[in-house]
Every structure is written in structure tokens, then in C-alpha cells.
Structure 1
Amino acid sequence: MPLPVSRLALIALGLLGATMTVLAAARERHEGSDLEPIASLDVPRYLGAWYEIAKYPNRFQKQCDRDTTAHYSLQPGGGIQVINRCRRADGRIDEAVGSARQIGPADSPKLEVRFAPGWLSFLPMVWGDYWVIDLDPDYQLAAVSEPKREYLWILSRTPTVPRLAMAGLLDRLARQGFDINKLEATKQAR
């Protein structure tokens, strides 16, 4: 039985309202933040393997016990493939495969990442901000966050970071308004 036109109009208005709310929330993610990413990012130099050194605890890494890594590689068409891996307490490997895209010019340090299926990529809420906010000149130590500072990851090309380099990074992050006490060190294999 077909719906009356008035009910169809109400459903259409409801869907339009929900879409506008989602778009406004996505726009709000980028506005009003005083967090500054690095000046520019050379994506080809950033690609490759990174070890997670520390992070703000988050719901999507609860199962991870140790040995967390991220691997970035170019996809055909210019996107970036993201493969995140960690080891659970029982020894099993957890893997999440996603995509990233740069926002803005070719040297923009602002990216978005998604782990939802590709057919959902048109929805703004499946993309999360991934801003490179600190990076050493040799592309060996990085900090990644997003405009609201709810998430923070410290990444390194090696499983350990020299004490002086880590102290300098933590000082810079504290000056950017991050609560360093919230950081949780990532356990590495022995």
C-alpha cells in the first residue's frame, strides 16, 4: 500500500534534516579549533611503517594489548591505504584496513581516515580527522590528533624513542594544550 503524499513529504523532510545535521557536525569538526598542524606534509616521505609509542586511550583500540603499528601506502588513484595492527592479550593479531585522503593542497598535513566500507565513503561521519601536529625533520617521530584534541597518538619509525626526543615532543604537545598525563604507553614485544 503506497504511503500518502503527506507522509512521504514528512519522511523526506526528516531525511533532509538528518543529512543537514550530519553535514553541520562535520563542518563543526573543522571550525573553532586553535590546534595547529605542522606547516606541510610530504606524504611520500610519511608513507611506510610506524610504531605506536603512546596514545590517548580510546574505544576502538580497547582490544589492543601491545605491538601496535600503522602502515601507510599509496593506492591506485592517489588515495592512501591504512593498515593498523595490534596484538591482543591472547596473542592474536587484530587488523583494521582503511583509507585516508588529504584535505586541501598536496602538502596539507590535514588528512581524513575511514575504516568503514568504501561504499559508505560519501557519508561525512565515516571519516575521522587525522592531523599531523608534530613531525621531526627526518620523518622519524610524529604526533597525530584532531581539532578537538580528543585523540592523540605518538608514532615512531622505531619501537623505541630516545629519551631526549620524547621529552621534547611531550613538551611541545603540552604547549599545544594536550594533557600529557592522559597518554598511555604502548607495550612493545620483548
Structure 2
Amino acid sequence: MTMKNLPKAGYKIGKIAVGGALLMGLGMATVAYAQNQPLKTVDKVELDRYLGVWYEVARKPLYFQNKCDRDVTATYTLNENGNVNVDNKCYSKDGKLNQSIGEAYVQNAPFNSKLKVSFLPSAIRWLPVGRGDYWVLKIDDDYQTVLVGEPKRKYLWVLSRSAHPSEAVVNEYLDYAKSVGYDLGDLIKTQQTAK
């Protein structure tokens, strides 16, 4: 039996199913294509404007954030040697404060869009091991929202100056992440209890 021989309702359902499958296939092909392209960063980050407190809005799962249940923040300050101090905080389900202090090293000065971050003890942080990529992929002109990732697209964070940014802005950044090849099937939306 061909689609033309189906009753009208069945024919319409068949067309919808075929159309949906085509759209899903195109979407998967687009993500696969994007994943094979080199990940691009923003042209330039002005570090002095980037410093300060950022609230995590969303992230892909990351082993060292397994204890983080809510109120995840990152505070960046410049240290005396020109690197960036990183102070990550979050609360676990039982209300315990977790804190990780690290240091970020700019890899592409003066553009400042690619950094390496180390959370090793400060006495051995100078070793070029145990450093993770921190790439600024998208940021607005006012430095209020940022998408951070790494070249293999395993990790991703959407950060905001506000604990509760607009859903439209968050979706814009997540849509951009998808367009450059991120799989957001395991995305975690961060609970922020700050007002």
C-alpha cells in the first residue's frame, strides 16, 4: 500500500512523520558538521571588564562539580603576576559550602579569549600539567552574559552577572552552543536561590 492509498488522516500522519524524521536528521547532521569544525572564540576579551562575580546559569556535567547542587558562582580577580585568580563556590544538597581556588593563565594575549585554568595547590601551579581549557565563546557587549567552553566540546558553562537572567537570553546562548556543535542533552540548569 502506498501513501496515496492510505486514508486521508493516515496520509497526513505519514507526511508529518516523514517531515519530522527529515528535520531530526537535518538537525543531527548540522550538529555533526558543527562538531567537526574548529571551535571559535570571541575576538577579544577585556579582562578588566570580565573580572568580578558571575553566576552559573547552566552547565554540562563535570566531575569536579558533582557536589554542586545550587548557588554556583565564579569570582575572578587579577593577581600581582597578571594572572586571574579563580574562586569557585557552590552548595551541596546538604547545604555545605564547597570552594575551589585556582588560577587562570591567558594563552592568546592580547586577545584574552583562551585561558588555561589550574586548581592544583598554589605551590605547584606553575607546572604545565593539570590545566583545563577555558575558552570564551560568546559574550555580550556589556559583559553581562557569557558562554564558556573548551575545544573538544565536553564542557560548557553559561554565566551571568545576574542570578536570574531572562530565559530568552539564556536560550540565545544555548542555541549558539548547539550551533557550534555542543550536545545539550545532558545540560544542567543551575538553581540559584539569591534574589
TM-score range, shorter chain: 0.7 to 0.9
Mapped partners of 1:182, 1:90: distance in 2: 23
Contact 2:43 2:113 in 1 (8 A): yes
Contact 1:102 / 1:112 at 8 angstroms: preserved in 2? yes
Residue 143 (structure 1) shift: 0.8
Aligned 1:145-156 pairs, distance under 5 A: 145-156=149-160
Following superposition, the deviation at residue 173 of structure 1 comes to 1.1
Given that 1:66 and 1:187 are in contact with CA atoms closer than 8 Å, whether structure 2 keeps it comes out as: yes
| CA shift digits 1:50-89 (9 cap, x unpaired) | 0000100111011111000000001012111100000111
| Map 1:1-190 → 2, pairs under 5 A | 34-189=38-193
TM-score where L is the length of structure 2 = 0.77
Contact 1:33 1:148 in 2 (8 A): no
CA shift for structure 1 position 172: 1.1
Larger radius of gyration: 2
Distance in 2 separating the partners of 1:59 and 1:102: 24
User: Structure 2 stretches of 5 or more lacking a match?
Assistant: 1-35
- Mapped to 2, the partners of 1:85 and 1:33 lie a distance apart of 33
- Cα distance in 2 between the residues matched to 1:52 and 1:108: 21
Please, what TM-score do these two structures have when normalized by structure 1? Answer: 0.79
In 1: Cα distance, 2:155 partner to 2:162 partner: 21
Size of the alignment, in residue pairs? 159
2:88 is aligned with what amino acid?
N
Q: Which runs of 5+ in 1 are unaligned?
A: 1-31
